Structure 1
Amino acid sequence: MSVSIKIGLGLDGKLMMPHPAQAGLIVGGPSKVLAWLEAQLGLAVPDTGFTKRMLQYLACLKEVDSTSRFYHESLLVDPLGVARQILQWRDHLYLAAWDGGQLPHVSPRLTDIEAVEKLARDRVAFNEGQRVFRVIEALEVISLDIELEVCDPVTSFPAVWQRLLNYLEPHYQPFYAEIPAKSDSDLGRLQTALRSETSDAVQLEGDGSLILIRAPSRACSAEWLAHAIAEKLTAQSGQSIGLLCDGPADAVDLALKQVGVPQLAVGQASALRPVFQVLSLALELLWEPLNPQYLLAFLAHPVGPLPVRLRRPLAELVANEPGIGGEVWDACIEKMIESEIAKCDISEKVAGVEGKIRDQLAFWLMNERYSNSEGAPLEIVKERVRAISTWMGGYRQVLSQKSESEAEIELIGQAQSHLWECLEALDQLEQQNLSHIGANDLRRLINEVRGDGFTRPDVWPELSANLPTIDYAKDPACCISNQDLLVWWGMDAPHQPQHTGWNRSERAELCASGVEIDDVGETISWHANSWLRPLFAARSLLCLVIHDDAESKHPVLDLIKSRVRCIPEYDLQTLIQSTDEMENFPLAVTLRDQTALCLPSRTRIWQLPEGQLIPRRERESFSSLESFLLGPYQWVLRYPARLKTGALLEISDDNRLKGNLAHALFEAFFSRPEHAALHSLLLSDVREWSRSALNDLIATRGTVLLLPGRMAERERFIEDSTEALVALVQHLQAGDVVSVQLESEQDGTFTGGKLAGVLDMITTRRDGREAVIDLKWAGAKYRRESLREGTCLQLAIYAQLRLQDSGRMPDVGYFVISSRELLMFDSDYFPQAESIRPENNEGLLQIWQRLETTWKQRRQQLDRGMIEVNVSGTEPLGAFQLDENALTVPDTFESFNEFVALVGWEAEA
């Protein structure tokens, strides 16, 4: 039986054409046709991925390498990158009809590539050009009954393909030899103008056959497109519909699914789904310095080799204290082990449970780390890959028991094949006498193995018995059948052809040797012509959709605007918001009337329903009291309503992290017995100890400061913290302090009930006087003002707690670490500190009394169901006016407000 083959460049993707009804018809690009020819000729079809071929070629490069080779220096730095690039050059030479023989001995690159080829021709799996040569040789012995039609000029194919096509005696039939649209329509005028050799622009009449839509984003236009397609399909108009999804198209599938239209599966395969990320994240934990972002991602990942009950607590810890090790880390692990042991019903299992947890944590998290320059041992890397493969096998077995997890099971199977290919690649490197691999090389290897990812098993093209089908394509070159309606969705930045890499003299040398390198101009010309195919595929209506958030626009758009004038252009947002404009739109969708909902405006008072009361809390602290007194709405939302920010974890990498590290430094310093004798301490010894301790703290609790590019910041932090500790010791020595207590928990009472707090530092002088010092990383100006204005509520609360505990009122103040300033509240406790007297001459007891008075009045307001919302955009109300004995409450209290979206919206100007 004769077989008809229609071949064209760029036709290896999804084709915009109905499924061929007759047998013996093959339509596709070079890859599809080559695979069919090999099968018919009995030639084994190669099943070797590019990564394996690249590593095979790398071995050849190394064997031939010497200091005279053009790639020698680069090979030492980036062996995988070099192998990839030169292999691509080699593959291109074979497509240019090189047979692997002698090349011109003028260019060093060509000379070296020829030397390497003497090994590679027998050791590296076939490339496309070699496979074509093999088919040509087979056709000289075996004849096939083929009718070959080429859709592009034979000269536009690579040279080796030209030989094969000419051997099969092709018939050239270009796409769209005739103009499909009516000549008196806008679409027909455009198609005629594009075929015309004149450059005069044609005036359009706006008949709706050619439209341009400008949308703000793909997500917005995809929703409109889905509704438009749904209405066209349900109308049963008999029109064929073609959809060209150029670029990322996952939003289209999602939108079609939402409107009940069969999805097309036009979304691109993703290489970054969770099971595929596990390997990359696990391997990133091998490197020094440890990147806490990867550590957090590994611990907070949806799936992973560590049980989620172990990963989640550690993830929360790492988010606040990025690093591994230290007392806090060890305490967290011990707590997890105790929790797991408590679940054991048999005492004999206790030791096994504890040992298993420690072994898991040691293997995945507490492992030895390696520098990028020296690399990690290949055996260590392979051990980790095998461990992930074992975990995936168990994970897959568990999911196989759930009938609803078929897609996920298939996904894990694909990921396991990815792991096996990765192990095979590592084995190949080991066979090349490579014992270590650097971080960059390993990342490149993983990316090569992963490629563009796998086809999603949970997304597939769907059909409906009641609806016509939609022909779609992902590349303009694949628009090879006429459609009544064609939508080019995403007419944005095009895929540009890649430069071959050969310079002018090399091209001349190769041409003289019969190696016909593709002409760059012809390649660009073919791409430009392929971009025109969608324009000639439309019969009745062509809709072009562009997006404002795209990096650039398609050059065909400029071509269209140069050939026609007054192309109808629509703004999608305006269309959606206007029923009148949508009715006159060629691709109109039904806009449902929606009652306009106004966003709630900001109001100064929230009034609770009659009889609805907010009870008192059993215990308050400074942070809760501050919001209760100064911003009641925040207290209500945070505590009685129990609202809090989401559980999305994020690495702490700001002043909060630096403050925590400095707190830990101070606590470690003053907790050491040898530092108890403050007056005997030498400042030089304090500096030396501080720098050493900070290096350890950063390594375990602040590893973000060890990342590349953070050296200056890290050294500045070490300098600031060290000098702050030295300055604090100087103040303590000058104040004749003999005892320092840090992180002291204090309990007390106030008029509203129980009160608790943690005091950063309590110092005791030789004469018995005490001081409470609150440590702050920054904000000296704000703290100074709070002391001057008598609004230092935190110090007043801590002083009262200490008074209730010891019977003595302590001196109080702030120590600002970054600026090394000790600010005291009207005190001579530290001779060298800055003493600030309140402008109203009130002391801590008066501030405390005002605090309790304010609490009573706020409590009375709550008992009447009234909550003050003192935010910007509102005016103070007399109902919340506090008397002269209360604190001075600011008109607005919204600093660090996490409830800004819940208090209403200000009216637009």
Structure 2
Amino acid sequence: MKIIAGLGYDDRLPNDLPKHYNSLICGEQGLIAELEFRAGIVSADISQVARNVSYLKALKFANKDERFYSQSLRVDPLASAEALLAWRDWAILHGWQHEESSTDKGRMVDLAAVEKVFESVGSSLGERIYALFSRLNLLASSVTSLELHHPRLSWPALYQKFFDSLESVGVSVTEVCMAISPQAPVDSDLGKLQRALIGEYKGALGLQDDGTLKLFSAGSEQLAAEYAIREANDSTLIISRGGHHCLASTIDQLGGNSTGLGDLSIYRAPNQLLLLMLQCAWQTPSAEVMLQYLSLPTGRFGRLRRKLARRFRDLPGYDRSHWQSVIDEFVSDALTDDPEQDEASLRSAIDEWLPICLCPSDDAMPIELAISLTDRVAKYWNVTLSLSEHEQAKVIFSAAYAAADAVSQALQDWPENDISKIQLNRLITMVLSVGNSRLCSTRETSCFDVVSNAEVTQLYTRSISKVTWVNPEVLNMVEVPPLSQEELTGIPLAPDASQKAILKQHALARSYAPLLAAEQSLTLISTHSKSELLKLQIGSLVDTNIWPTLEDAILCNEAIGASAQQVKETPLPREQRWWSLDCPVIAPRAVESYSSLATLALRPHEYVLKYAAEISEGAIESLSADVRLKGNLAHHLIEAWINEHPWTGQPIDRSDISVWLDNKLPVMIRQIALPLAQPGMQVEQLRFQQQMLEAIDRLMKALVAANIVGVEPERQLEYNGKLGNLVGTMDIFCELDDGRFAIIDLKWGGYNKYREELKAGRPLQLATYAHIAEGNRIRELADAGYFILSRAELLCNSAVLFPTAIVVEPDDPTSLKRTWQQFEAVLRWRIDHLSAGQIEVTYGGAGPDDDSTPPSDTLDLVSIEDSARKNGSGSFKSTYKAVDTWRNLIGNIKEH
């Protein structure tokens, strides 16, 4: 059998290959694999990550004395092992024997000590070649000849030595170097460049911008891929080493057939499953990671996780009691759909796919836990792969399984009983960076001829009219480690300076192949700014190192046939104050709360969109330690304090509150406020704790000063009145010894807003709660007020009941009962509008009109809106939401 070998032939080859009878084409890695098969050597299927971990164990064992790598090993063990294993493999490929008689110098002495304890899993390329030397006679009987498409001197020295040995046993080794001559017309820009590359054209090229030579820089590989595919035809060659996922997705978007390019993107959902699941298992996981995992459209129980994601968005933390009702409802529905299903097994499976906060710390994860989670993901992808019928999905699922399996192999050989967060993430990154196209071998052809390396151009059997090369570069086979000349003396086949120069020159010449083969046009696109030998060479010939941007060329429509399409002018929606429907909107609903009633009165458009149209927000959004999160956490803290310290009416020592917060706050942050627990938030967390200490202390003192005899947090009441069934949850419900009651509503911020409400005589929330409470015949309301937590101040209309309160006297004497009557009248006015199909769009771009004024002796809605416009930033929800949910729907596109 004849073997044809060329540098760079291991990756994707052209669609149309030369027809050779009884021959095989392969690259430098493929050549060794084929010879191993014929020599009866079974190569272990071990991932490079597993080799890194095995070498790490050896480094740690050999690190008893101070080694040159000791400090690096302490800082980042896995990265150190990866780098030093690469050094070791390169040294072996260049003749390093690491024996007692070796002349090792400098750092190579320490690496030789590591070799004594290195239990190698798998083999490096050099070790595999050495193993073949002892089986040359077997190879002579199955391989008749070896044809090299690149000169022997361009191959690593150990290959050259092996080629000599093959010849010694009768295998013919010949060099058939197929030089490509310039194919473009001599007077074209491309033709001039081609001849300059081979030394035929001297002096300045004198380019005329005839469109045959295009040099671009691009901001992303996706844009470069889209341009390359849209410009391609049957005789186009596209070269892209690392952007296959972009090319594949572009072809798919344009309705093309699957190309089998593979996918190097680590951002696909299947590749994220393992990473997110492991990150969620830490004692204090990132809130963003938790939300991503719960919303991830892959993995088991996706529907349940999406429901939990909405719950998590409101209370971003992990407290199983907060999630249990959602889980119970899901289990109930599942058992209804499939009564034969075992409930215990279902709940156990759900627990397995909600591995939240399982790790006892944030510093290190037990290896058993990490392996268990990794094997769970690997098993899931293996089963999914066997059930999938979609070929493209199989490629992705197979890669996800291979990645999880590789991580599992590495973890099982980890040298410690636990693994740190940094090392675990680095391990996963190492695996994913290999890319799907390496983890699963696929090969399909399409009308687009896409290859990975420039060297394979010489295998073409037909002409190439166009060449598009994304990120042109000279391919270096193996990176030379930074060893000194003294250290290199113990590596007999290590190239000297002149040999390195020859190797580099050969590599540069190989990269000329596609540049010379193009007949009509050549397009080079660089998506990064780093210096590169081929780019520098071309820049010196065309007298420019600055390539114009592809984005500008597309926008200027420079006849490049790109995908730039003129955006159709679409005017923004006109601002409207009223929407008119041809049908009534039913209101009120069966059950209403203060928040929904306030929405109906002040923002009827939002009431209709949210409740009648049932338009809701998705679960994906940015989570931060904002006003809303702090308010939720503060409410839960005060509720927990009161529940754990039943009210006695006696003064409470401030130090007792401080000690309680020290213990309780970290737990509750993990349960409902994870953004406050993230790195960099320690100062904010301490500030919040100090604010809560002050708030609880002053709140308790206010209750003592008012002679409150009973305190109940989160008191829920209902009242079926004229507007239907009203429900309300009073933050602090206070009982007096004379049977009266008082209400305190907790607010994190909004000090000026609530002062203004009290002064204007329209504390709508307090009035609503008072109406619901009095409707339940709970005697007489004594007082009500807002307690601003961030300032630890209680705001009331008087200090009769709460002597420590800040008094805000109303402009006109009024009562909460009167305020409710005005509020109710406005609500009925809004309900009449909705029943007629009229919906007012408030707080948008269009201001109030004559129909915006409610009947007299009700709330002055126009003044309330005007005040909000003056005090706000243009968006009604500017207090805590970066984006108004309904902004686009109501035409309020631009905030003023």
- Give the aligned residue type for 1:536: L
C-alpha distance in structure 1 between counterparts of 2:408 and 2:740, whole Å = 68
C-alpha distance in structure 1 between counterparts of 2:551 and 2:110, whole Å = 58
Structure-2 change in CA distance of 1:195 and 1:492 (3 Å): closer
2:425 is equivalent to residue 452 of structure 1: no
2:605 is equivalent to residue 633 of structure 1: yes
Equivalent of residue 94 in structure 1, options 70, 92, 95: 92
- Give the aligned residue type for 2:86: Q
Query: Residue 127 of structure 1: CA displacement?
Result: 1.5
| Residue matched to 1:236 | none
| Residue matched to 2:775 | 804
C-alpha distance in structure 1 between counterparts of 2:708 and 2:202, whole Å = 91
Aligned length: 869
2:495 is equivalent to residue 516 of structure 1: yes
Query: Residue 740 of structure 1: CA displacement?
Result: 1.6
| Equivalences for residues 742-891 of structure 1 within 5 A | 742-748=713-719, 752-805=723-776, 806=778, 808-839=780-811, 842-882=814-854, 884-885=856-857, 886-889=859-862, 890-891=865-866
Query: Residue 898 of structure 1: CA displacement?
Result: 0.6
Query: Residue 679 of structure 1: CA displacement?
Result: 2.0
- Give the aligned residue type for 1:898: T
Contact 1:5 1:26 in 2 (8 A): yes
Contact 1:296 1:318 in 2 (8 A): yes
Structure-2 change in CA distance of 1:92 and 1:517 (3 Å): farther
SS in 2 for 1:203: coil
| Equivalences for residues 566-715 of structure 1 within 5 A | 585=559, 587=561, 597-609=570-582, 612-618=583-589, 619-648=591-620, 653-672=625-644, 674-715=645-686
Query: Residue 90 of structure 1: CA displacement?
Result: 1.0
C-alpha distance in structure 1 between counterparts of 2:103 and 2:753, whole Å = 75
SS in 2 for 1:98: coil
C-alpha distance in structure 2 between counterparts of 1:594 and 1:62, whole Å = 60
- Give the aligned residue type for 2:260: A
SS in 1 for 2:795: strand
TM-score (structure 2 length as normaliser):
0.83
- Give the aligned residue type for 1:361: D
2:518 is equivalent to residue 538 of structure 1: yes
| Residue matched to 1:117 | 115
Contact 2:291 2:309 in 1 (8 A): yes
Structure-2 change in CA distance of 1:840 and 1:273 (3 Å): same
2:343 is equivalent to residue 353 of structure 1: yes
- Give the aligned residue type for 2:209: G
Residue by residue, what CA displacement relative to the aligned partner does 1:519-568 show, whole Å, maximum 9, x if unpaired? 77666656655554432231112234456xx6669775565455337999
Contact 2:749 2:790 in 1 (8 A): yes
| Residue matched to 1:149 | 148
| Residue matched to 2:541 | 563
Residue by residue, what CA displacement relative to the aligned partner does 1:688-728 show, whole Å, maximum 9, x if unpaired? 23333323323433344444443333332222222211111
SS in 2 for 1:656: helix
C-alpha distance in structure 2 between counterparts of 1:590 and 1:683, whole Å = 67
2:887 is equivalent to residue 900 of structure 1: yes
| Residue matched to 1:126 | 123
C-alpha distance in structure 2 between counterparts of 1:190 and 1:411, whole Å = 41
Contact 1:211 1:542 in 2 (8 A): yes
| Equivalences for residues 727-742 of structure 1 within 5 A | 727-742=698-713
- Relative to structure 2, which stretch is displaced further, 490-499 or 892-901? 490-499
C-alpha distance in structure 2 between counterparts of 1:424 and 1:653, whole Å = 39
Query: Residue 903 of structure 1: CA displacement?
Result: 2.0
Query: Residue 905 of structure 1: CA displacement?
Result: 6.2
| Residue matched to 1:321 | 315
Contact 1:510 1:517 in 2 (8 A): no
| Residue matched to 2:880 | none
- Give the aligned residue type for 1:899: W
Query: Residue 819 of structure 1: CA displacement?
Result: 1.9
| Residue matched to 1:209 | 212
SS in 1 for 2:596: helix
C-alpha distance in structure 2 between counterparts of 1:862 and 1:310, whole Å = 35
Residue by residue, what CA displacement relative to the aligned partner does 1:383-418 show, whole Å, maximum 9, x if unpaired? 555555566666667x37xxx356656765665555
C-alpha distance in structure 2 between counterparts of 1:498 and 1:708, whole Å = 39
- Runs (5+) with no aligned partner, structure 2: 878-883
Structure-2 change in CA distance of 1:290 and 1:865 (3 Å): closer
SS in 2 for 1:901: coil
- Relative to structure 2, which stretch is displaced further, 833-842 or 626-635? 833-842
- Give the aligned residue type for 2:523: C
C-alpha distance in structure 2 between counterparts of 1:495 and 1:811, whole Å = 80
Structure-2 change in CA distance of 1:516 and 1:545 (3 Å): closer
Contact 1:499 1:520 in 2 (8 A): no
Structure-2 change in CA distance of 1:489 and 1:733 (3 Å): farther
| Residue matched to 1:471 | 449
- Give the aligned residue type for 1:133: Y
Equivalent of residue 369 in structure 1, options 359, 371, 374: 359
Equivalent of residue 13 in structure 1, options 5, 11, 14: 11
| Residue matched to 2:881 | none
2:720 is equivalent to residue 720 of structure 1: no
- Relative to structure 2, which stretch is displaced further, 266-275 or 628-637? 266-275
- Give the aligned residue type for 2:652: L
- Give the aligned residue type for 2:889: L
- Runs (5+) with no aligned partner, structure 1: 234-239
Query: Residue 599 of structure 1: CA displacement?
Result: 3.8
Contact 2:651 2:701 in 1 (8 A): no
Residue by residue, what CA displacement relative to the aligned partner does 1:636-678 show, whole Å, maximum 9, x if unpaired? 2122211111244775743323222221121122234x53212
C-alpha distance in structure 2 between counterparts of 1:94 and 1:727, whole Å = 73
Equivalent of residue 182 in structure 1, options 182, 185, 188: 185
| Residue matched to 1:31 | 29
SS in 2 for 1:541: strand
SS in 2 for 1:662: helix
| Residue matched to 2:249 | 254
Structure-2 change in CA distance of 1:788 and 1:531 (3 Å): farther
- Give the aligned residue type for 1:814: Y
C-alpha distance in structure 1 between counterparts of 2:764 and 2:159, whole Å = 83
Contact 1:285 1:369 in 2 (8 A): no
- Relative to structure 2, which stretch is displaced further, 88-97 or 739-748? 739-748
- Give the aligned residue type for 2:650: H
Query: Residue 853 of structure 1: CA displacement?
Result: 3.7
Equivalent of residue 268 in structure 1, options 263, 279, 283: 263
C-alpha distance in structure 1 between counterparts of 2:547 and 2:318, whole Å = 57
Contact 1:283 1:384 in 2 (8 A): yes
Structure-2 change in CA distance of 1:227 and 1:278 (3 Å): closer
TM-score (structure 1 length as normaliser):
0.82
SS in 1 for 2:434: coil
Query: Residue 594 of structure 1: CA displacement?
Result: 9.2
2:208 is equivalent to residue 241 of structure 1: no
C-alpha distance in structure 2 between counterparts of 1:365 and 1:566, whole Å = 55
- Relative to structure 2, which stretch is displaced further, 682-691 or 55-64? 55-64
CA RMSD of aligned residues (A): 4.4
- Give the aligned residue type for 1:502: P
Query: Residue 823 of structure 1: CA displacement?
Result: 1.8
- Relative to structure 2, which stretch is displaced further, 194-203 or 714-723? 194-203
C-alpha distance in structure 2 between counterparts of 1:365 and 1:372, whole Å = 15
C-alpha distance in structure 2 between counterparts of 1:826 and 1:665, whole Å = 27
- Give the aligned residue type for 1:320: D
